[in-house]
């Protein structure tokens, strides 16, 4: 259970003034509070049913908050919980006289005979607390709305953030002590061990998942490349893997391509029918049958696409909160970062604007506790540089803050794009039909260059089979003929950029 930061005293003052003016008392269930506390002191089962639902501030009476805090302290220390141990803990906390002494505790235990229905009672107490919190937040918003010095968009964002916290049942957290954090960490390690080492959201790319243990909650991941390298193709392949193979909900914010164009790419990848044929609709009868059968998995996939152009960081936060709340989205993808705007916070300096956007993306990842992936363009220095065209961290476009804020910075590199037929670090290995996912910064893990198979006609990345570089042509025989013989413009534009279909 997470510790909850107590409401600010001035918040209570504002709320109470408004309530007194209306002649109303705040929502409360004092009798149920007494019943729950009494049941927890006489029946261990009652503790197990309630401890993950309630927190001290959920109780209306301050004396009940103190009693529950004492019970929770005993629970954390794995000590017995009964009338005497709770009384002793309250004495240690110098709160026994405050709550009314042993006489009050005895009265609580005499009001119940068992812990029957205690979970139902606890949820009513929580509902009353949420009602009180909503009243407090609404009072604050009303007062701030009268303040002419407040930016209206900042006010909207702040209001939505507060309501989102209530929706999640996870109000602003205070600091946590080492003991509770160690317990949380051990519990997470135990959960990871049951998932065979996959602590994050699996991507479906074997070597990448082995390196990262999946994309980790609260991480900001930057995937950068020059136009035409396949940034969108990579995240679309990944999103499809996550949604279809692992049933993880994924949200894609596409600022460059329309939602129909993106889903068409997924259809091409899933069915094995070239994007060129899908664009023109010139499918053979067996391909129509193939389309109708293989697209069924995609129709059931929990993928959400938003193609709002020039999306501001303010709008993104609002939409992301709703998607996480309503659909339990496990990953956010932004395609791509340089097309976002800072909204009302823009000051005309593009580098500072990008810095502000990247900071907010990292803050959003932490707030929602999910990984956020942002695609990014690289500077033209890659094209003008002699020798190897493999991208470097210094090639990130417009702001060094992107590298600073990101937990993982990665690049997509396809030597074939520059006319190379062999890898520059292995002259005997063909690079045809391959791409490299370069992990150049990894805050919590190692670095690596991971080679993947790339099928341009399907705009698809997939795991690279052993020996693929030396047996490229034989592998091509497994790809449908319609996907092999395709004009390069089916996958990429005349300018080398990715073409939206």
How far is the C-alpha of 39 from the C-alpha of 78, rounded, in Å?
18
State pLDDT tens for residues 287-317. 888 888 888 888 888 889 888 887 888 778 8
Show the tokens assigned to 345. Answer: 């916070």
Over the chain, what is the mean pLDDT? 78
State pLDDT tens for residues 465-479. 754 444 444 444 444
How far is the C-alpha of 295 from the C-alpha of 387, rounded, in Å?
43
Residue 17's pLDDT is 40
Give 427 or 152, the one with higher predicted confidence. 152
Residue 201's pLDDT is 86
Look at residue 103 and tell me whether its pLDDT is greater than 80.
Answer: yes
Look at residue 67 and tell me whether its pLDDT is greater than 90.
Answer: yes
Is residue 336 within 8 Å of 374, Cβ to Cβ?
yes
- DSSP alpha helices (H): ranges in 281-340? 285-294, 296-300, 313-327
State pLDDT tens for residues 191-200. 666 666 577 8
Which of the residue ranges 68-82, 177-191, 422-436 would you say has the lowest mean pLDDT?
177-191
Show the tokens assigned to 334. Answer: 């932004």
State pLDDT tens for residues 230-257. 888 898 888 888 888 888 999 999 888 8
Show the tokens assigned to 212. Answer: 């990262």
Token pair 């496990």 in the structure block, residue: 330
Helices (H) then strands (E): counts for the chain: 22, 11
Look at residue 379 and tell me whether its pLDDT is greater than 90.
Answer: no
- Chain centroid to CA 19: how far? 37
How far is the C-alpha of 206 from the C-alpha of 450, rounded, in Å?
10
How far is the C-alpha of 278 from the C-alpha of 264, rounded, in Å?
8
Residue 466's pLDDT is 56
Give 344 or 145, the one with higher predicted confidence. 145
Residue 399's pLDDT is 60
Residue 472's pLDDT is 40
Residue 484's pLDDT is 42
Look at residue 214 and tell me whether its pLDDT is greater than 70.
Answer: yes
- The catalytic residue among 33, 256, 353, 436 is 256
Look at residue 367 and tell me whether its pLDDT is greater than 60.
Answer: yes
Q: Is 403 a catalytic residue?
A: no
Confidence of residue 464 (pLDDT cuts 50, 70, 90): confident
Show the tokens assigned to 421. Answer: 């037929």
State pLDDT tens for residues 89-100. 999 999 999 998
Show the tokens assigned to 147. Answer: 């303040």
Residue 13's pLDDT is 39
Q: What proportion of the chain, given as a percentage, has pLDDT over 90? A: 10
Token pair 């990944």 in the structure block, residue: 238
The dihedral through the CA atoms of 41, 43, 44, 46 has a sign that is negative
Token pair 């190379």 in the structure block, residue: 420
Confidence of residue 87 (pLDDT cuts 50, 70, 90): very high
pTM over 0.75: no
How far is the C-alpha of 218 from the C-alpha of 141, rounded, in Å?
28
Look at residue 160 and tell me whether its pLDDT is greater than 80.
Answer: no
State pLDDT tens for residues 383-413. 777 777 788 887 776 666 777 888 999 998 8
| 75, 279, 297 from 70: Cα distances, Å | 9, 66, 51
Tell me the residue length of the chain: 501
State pLDDT tens for residues 309-344. 878 887 788 788 888 888 888 999 998 788 888 765
Mean pLDDT of 271-295: 80
Confidence of residue 168 (pLDDT cuts 50, 70, 90): low
Confidence of residue 64 (pLDDT cuts 50, 70, 90): very high
Residue 25's pLDDT is 83
Residue 196's pLDDT is 61
Mean pLDDT of 126-148: 88
Look at residue 286 and tell me whether its pLDDT is greater than 70.
Answer: yes
Look at residue 202 and tell me whether its pLDDT is greater than 70.
Answer: yes
State pLDDT tens for residues 9-45. 344 334 444 444 456 788 889 999 999 999 888 887 7
């Amino acid at each position: 259970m997470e510790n909850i930061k107590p409401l600010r005293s001035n918040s209570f003052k504002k709320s109470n003034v408004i309530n007194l003016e209306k002649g109303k008392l705040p929502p409360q269930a004092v009798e149920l509070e007494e019943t729950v506390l009494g049941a927890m002191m006489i029946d261990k089962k009652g503790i197990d049913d309630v401890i993950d639902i309630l927190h001290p501030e959920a109780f209306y009476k301050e004396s009940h908050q103190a009693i529950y805090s004492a019970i929770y302290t005993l629970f954390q220390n794995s000590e017995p919980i009964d009338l005497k141990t709770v009384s002793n803990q309250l004495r240690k906390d110098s709160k026994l006289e405050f709550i009314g002494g042993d006489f009050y505790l005895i009265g609580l235990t005499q009001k119940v005979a068992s812990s029957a229905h205690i979970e139902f009672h606890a949820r009513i107490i929580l509902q009353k607390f949420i009602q009180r919190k909503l009243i407090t937040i609404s009072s604050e918003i009303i007062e701030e709305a009268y303040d002419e010095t407040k930016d209206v968009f900042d006010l909207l964002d702040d209001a939505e953030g507060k309501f989102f916290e209530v929706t999640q049942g996870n109000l602003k957290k205070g600091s946590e002590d080492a003991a509770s954090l160690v317990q949380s960490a051990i519990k997470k390690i135990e959960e990871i061990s049951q998932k065979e080492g996959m602590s994050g959201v699996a991507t479906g790319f074997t070597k990448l998942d082995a390196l990262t243990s999946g994309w980790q909650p609260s991480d900001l991941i930057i995937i950068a490349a020059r136009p035409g390298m396949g940034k969108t193709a990579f995240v679309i392949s990944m999103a499809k893997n996550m949604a279809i193979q692992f049933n993880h909900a994924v949200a894609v914010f596409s600022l460059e391509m329309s939602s129909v164009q993106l889903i068409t790419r997924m259809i091409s990848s899933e069915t094995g029918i070239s994007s060129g044929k899908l664009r023109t609709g010139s499918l053979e009868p067996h391909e129509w049958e193939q389309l109708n059968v293989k697209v069924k998995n995609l129709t059931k996939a929990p993928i959400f696409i938003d193609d709002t152009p020039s999306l501001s960081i303010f709008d993104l936060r609002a939409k992301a909160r709703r998607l996480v709340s309503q659909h339990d989205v496990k990953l956010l993808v932004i395609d791509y970062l340089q097309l976002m705007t800072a909204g009302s916070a823009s000051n005309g300096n593009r580098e500072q604007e990008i810095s502000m956007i990247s900071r907010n993306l990292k803050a959003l990842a932490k707030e929602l506790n999910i990984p956020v992936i942002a695609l990014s363009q690289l500077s033209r220095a890659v094209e003008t540089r002699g020798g190897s065209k493999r991208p470097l961290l210094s090639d990130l476009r417009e702001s060094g803050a992107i590298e600073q804020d990101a937990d993982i910075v990665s690049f997509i590199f396809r030597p074939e794009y520059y006319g190379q037929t062999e890898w520059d670090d292995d002259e005997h290995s063909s690079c045809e039909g391959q791409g490299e996912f370069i992990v150049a910064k990894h805050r919590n893990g190692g670095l690596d260059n991971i080679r993947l198979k790339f099928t341009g006609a399907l705009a698809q990345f997939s795991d690279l089979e052993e020996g693929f570089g030396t047996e490229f042509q034989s592998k091509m025989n497994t790809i449908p003929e319609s996907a092999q013989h395709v004009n390069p413009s089916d996958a990429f534009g005349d300018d080398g950029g990715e073409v939206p279909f």
